[in-house]
């Protein structure tokens, strides 16, 4: 008698975002997966009734909760109510509706901003709730912490298998390359690209270049999320605690902003001079994740920064319009 492959119906919430789309690309390569995807216009994640009806109807086996309202410092400062309300509602609706529909397996994607502003470096999972958060994105961070605690609480009360992963700074295809409201890698990539097009003799990078940051390619983040989702319960429980169950995802390797900028110039092919404006503020001197837990589970990153920047720039050239604006 021929064996039949059991097909898993997997819902990726936020499948159009940078991380969600990377998770989808990798799950699409698996034979035993049937993806269930809904755009914002098809399913309003802020509506409890809509999300509950969706879960009752679709018979989902596993969830990746990558949907979130995200933005830079200015957006977080200008719309703090939107950031805390929308993120809390998305998490509550998906996690509770999944539970009500009998979905046992879920992975929640958080952020390294959950850790205190002055957390010891590299940041360990145990640093959570040990100090004051960075004020600029505190509402967003509180919502992400609540997501971790939702997962843990449903595990403790109902025996669910809801896990949380906390990524470091991510980059890669489908990132936001907006000139005024993007993170350091897409912002630098765009600036060096436009400087190359315009033959700009010098690009000045904000700050001294001395702060150290960690960067993880989004394809590695997707791979780690899928790995954590499917690691055995025994292995997962041996590396976590019921009320300290989130897992850092990063490289465990950092570099200076100066090293990043010079590597970016090389990848883009910018031939001009790279300088650093030390009159501009630097931010925290170092932000690095301790990834020992993830290594104990059996996963490590595979995409080196220069290779990841090169593939990201290739995608940028293919999908971003050439705007010959003055840098």
Q: What is the DSSP letter of 132?
A: P
C-alpha distances (whole Å) from 307 to each of 50, 132, 218, 298, 304 are 42, 36, 13, 23, 5
For residues 264-286, average pLDDT: 94
Window from 133-137, 152-156, 305-309 with minimum mean pLDDT: 133-137
* Per-residue confidence (pLDDT) for residue 4, from 0 to 100: 64
* Per-residue confidence (pLDDT) for residue 139, from 0 to 100: 97
Residues 209-236 have pLDDT tens digits of 999 999 999 999 999 999 999 999 999 9
151 pLDDT tier (thresholds 50, 70, 90): very high
Residues 59-96 have pLDDT tens digits of 999 999 999 999 888 888 999 999 999 999 999 999 99
Give the C-alpha separation, 168 to 213, whole Å. 9
Check pLDDT > 70 for residue 322: no
For residues 35-53, average pLDDT: 98
* Per-residue confidence (pLDDT) for residue 93, from 0 to 100: 98
The ranges assigned to domains in the chain are: 8-172+215-252+287-303
Told to judge if 64 belongs to the known catalytic residues of this protein, a careful annotator would answer no
Check pLDDT > 80 for residue 25: yes
Check pLDDT > 90 for residue 99: yes
Give the C-alpha separation, 164 to 110, whole Å. 7
With beta carbons less than 8 A apart as the criterion, state whether 288 and 250 touch: yes
* Per-residue confidence (pLDDT) for residue 323, from 0 to 100: 44
Q: Is 12 exposed, middle or buried (0-12, 13-18, 19+ CB in 10 A)?
A: buried
For residues 185-204, average pLDDT: 96
Give the C-alpha separation, 93 to 310, whole Å. 38
178 pLDDT tier (thresholds 50, 70, 90): confident
CATH 2.30.30.40 holds for 8-172+215-252+287-303: no
For residues 105-117, average pLDDT: 96
* Rg for the chain, CA atoms, rounded: 20
Q: How far apart are the first and last CA of the chain?
A: 67
How many of the other CB atoms lie within 10 Å of CB of 260?
A: 22
* Per-residue confidence (pLDDT) for residue 181, from 0 to 100: 72
Q: Which of 140, 154, 301, 313 is catalytic?
A: 140
């Amino acid at each position: 008698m021929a064996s039949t492959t059991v097909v898993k119906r997997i819902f990726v919430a936020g499948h159009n975002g940078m991380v969600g789309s990377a998770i989808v690309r990798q799950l699409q390569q698996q034979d035993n997966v049937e993806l269930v995807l809904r755009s914002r216009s098809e399913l309003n994640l802020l509506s409890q009734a809509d999300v509950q009806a969706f879960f009752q109807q679709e018979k989902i086996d596993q969830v990746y909760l990558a949907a979130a309202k995200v933005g830079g410092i200015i957006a977080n400062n200008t719309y703090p109510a939107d950031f805390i309300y929308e993120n809390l509602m998305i998490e509550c609706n998906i996690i509770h509706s999944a539970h009500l529909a009998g979905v046992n397996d879920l992975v929640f994607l958080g952020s390294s901003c959950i850790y205190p502003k002055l957390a010891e470096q590299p940041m360990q999972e145990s640093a959570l709730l040990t100090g004051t958060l960075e004020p600029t994105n505190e509402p967003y961070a509180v919502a992400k912490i609540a997501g971790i605690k939702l997962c843990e609480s449903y595990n403790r009360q109902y025996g669910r298998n809801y896990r949380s992963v906390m990524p470091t700074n991510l980059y890669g295809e489908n990132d936001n390359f907006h000139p005024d409201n993007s993170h350091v890698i897409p912002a630098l990539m765009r600036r060096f690209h436009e400087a190359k097009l315009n033959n700009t003799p010098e690009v000045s990078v904000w700050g001294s270049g001395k702060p150290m940051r960690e960067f993880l390619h989004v394809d590695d983040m997707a791979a780690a999320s899928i790995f954590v989702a499917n690691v055995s319960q025994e292995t997962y429980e041996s590396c976590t605690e019921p009320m300290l169950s989130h897992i850092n995802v990063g490289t465990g390797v950092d570099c200076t902003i100066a090293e990043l900028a010079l590597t970016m110039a090389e990848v883009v092919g910018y031939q001009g001079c790279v300088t650093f404006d030390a009159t501009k503020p630097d931010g925290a001197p170092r932000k690095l994740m301790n990834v020992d837990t993830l290594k104990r589970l059996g996963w490590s990153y595979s995409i080196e920064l220069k290779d990841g920047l090169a593939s990201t720039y290739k995608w940028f050239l293919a999908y971003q319009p050439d705007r010959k604006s003055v840098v």
